[in-house]
Amino acid sequence: MERILGIDPGSRVTGYGIIDTDQGQLQYVACGVVKTNPQFPFAHRLNEIFEGINEVVQVHSPVIAAVEDVFMASNPRSALKLGHARGAAVVAAMQNGLAVYDYSPRAVKQAVAGYGQAEKSQVQHMIKVLLGLSGVPSSDAADALAVAICHANQFHI
Amino acid sequence: MERILGIDPGSRVTGYGIIDTDQGQLQYVACGVVKTNPQFPFAHRLNEIFEGINEVVQVHSPVIAAVEDVFMASNPRSALKLGHARGAAVVAAMQNGLAVYDYSPRAVKQAVAGYGQAEKSQVQHMIKVLLGLSGVPSSDAADALAVAICHANQFHI
């Protein structure tokens, strides 16, 4: 059994999702978001991301972090901000001794919806189905669970 | 008296430089670089930056971090990597309770060489002169000291 933390980084909202995998069986553990306060200086918000992910790791004790890559086609300023946020999240995982893996948005969508250009709502729906959830998680939390599932598929664990 | 840590972030080499300022008097304390191993996965290298800056802060106890911004005109992939590195450095400063300030490369060059497009060698030379050093620091360390001086000038401290 392995516990995987999926992270969908963002400077405003960072989604996280945790699953257990055991020989191809996926089990939902938790999901949610780390929101940062846009009123605060950017350095403060990066620290909120670090501390939010740190807390999630300490509560749920995953051993692997799967982190979605930044989609480069977005505008360069946004990509740069996202790079900062992603760096903060990755360091939080590393500081807790997790093994960190990167997945492209396309690979993540492919893994859960069978199509690299799937819409957000398709991803949300498929997460509900694949993990047998009673409701649909928020888009950011669903994306994070999708990254975790992408890792599980990749390694057939 | 205030002790300022200047940081010139980079995914390969992150420069740092520490100065004390007292009513406009600048005093050199330390400078150097945090090098990351290009053989290692990127997440590991971000962690090296976090830990390197963490160590510098713990040894020298600065209260302010002045961090150079990413120059957006560079190629987008490099800017994105640099964003990650900068995020890791900023979070290390924040985790140690430092106040973090951002300065553009132009403002930094203007502060030490009086010209926003100054060459690297001019910055190195001016750092030697302004801080009364016996030798010229490496380019990354000189840039980091320049960011610290930029902050001191900005706040007339």
Cβ separation of A43 and B100 shorter than 8 Å? yes
Q: A28 in contact with B at a CB cutoff of 8 Å?
A: no
Position B78 scores a pLDDT of 84
Spatial CA neighbour of B50 closest among B88, B78, B4:
B88
Catalytic residue at B20? no
Position B45 scores a pLDDT of 98
**C-alpha–C-alpha distance, residues B36 and B104, integer Å:** 23
What is the nearest CA distance from A47 to chain B, expressed in angstroms? 5
Contact B49, B84 (CB under 8 A): no
Is pLDDT at A74 greater than 80 in this prediction?
Answer: no
Position A122 scores a pLDDT of 96
Predicted ipTM?
0.91
Query: Domains in chain A and their CATH numbers?
Result: 2-155 (3.30.420.10)
Position B23 scores a pLDDT of 85
Position A45 scores a pLDDT of 98
Contact B11, B45 (CB under 8 A): yes
Contact B11, B36 (CB under 8 A): yes
Is pLDDT at A40 greater than 80 in this prediction?
Answer: yes
Catalytic residue at B69? no
A20-24, A64-68, A146-150: segment of lowest average pLDDT = A20-24
Report the length, in residues, of chain B: 157
Helix H or strand E segment including B25: strand B25-35
Cβ separation of B91 and A88 shorter than 8 Å? yes
Q: B85 in contact with A at a CB cutoff of 8 Å?
A: yes
CB pairs under 8 A between A and B: 97
**C-alpha–C-alpha distance, residues A79 and B74, integer Å:** 13
pLDDT in tens, B37-65: 999 999 999 999 999 999 999 999 999 99
Cβ separation of B87 and A87 shorter than 8 Å? yes
Cβ separation of A83 and B88 shorter than 8 Å? no
What is the nearest CA distance from B87 to chain A, expressed in angstroms? 4
A5-14, A80-89, B73-82: segment of lowest average pLDDT = B73-82
Position A73 scores a pLDDT of 63
Residue with the bigger pLDDT between A13 and B76: it is A13
What average pLDDT is seen over chain A? 95
Instruction: Report, as an integer, the average pLDDT of A122-135.
Output: 96
Q: Rg (Cα) of chain A, in Å, rounded?
A: 14
Q: A96 in contact with B at a CB cutoff of 8 Å?
A: no
Residue A51: CB atoms within 10 A of its CB come to: 16
In chain A, what residues touch B93 (CB-CB under 8 Å)? 43
Degrees, nearest 5: CA angle B106-B107-B111: 120
Instruction: Report, as an integer, the average pLDDT of A133-139.
Output: 96
Cβ separation of B94 and A41 shorter than 8 Å? no
**C-alpha–C-alpha distance, residues B124 and B28, integer Å:** 14
Residues of A serving a catalytic function are: 8, 68, 140
Q: Helix axis angle, B76-95 relative to B42-60, nearest 10°?
A: 40
Position A156 scores a pLDDT of 74
Q: Helix axis angle, A76-95 relative to B76-95, nearest 10°?
A: 50
Is pLDDT at A76 greater than 90 in this prediction?
Answer: no
pLDDT, block means (10 residues), chain B with 157 residues:
96 97 93 97 98 98 96 78 96 98 96 92 96 96 98 85
Position B155 scores a pLDDT of 81
Contact B68, B143 (CB under 8 A): yes
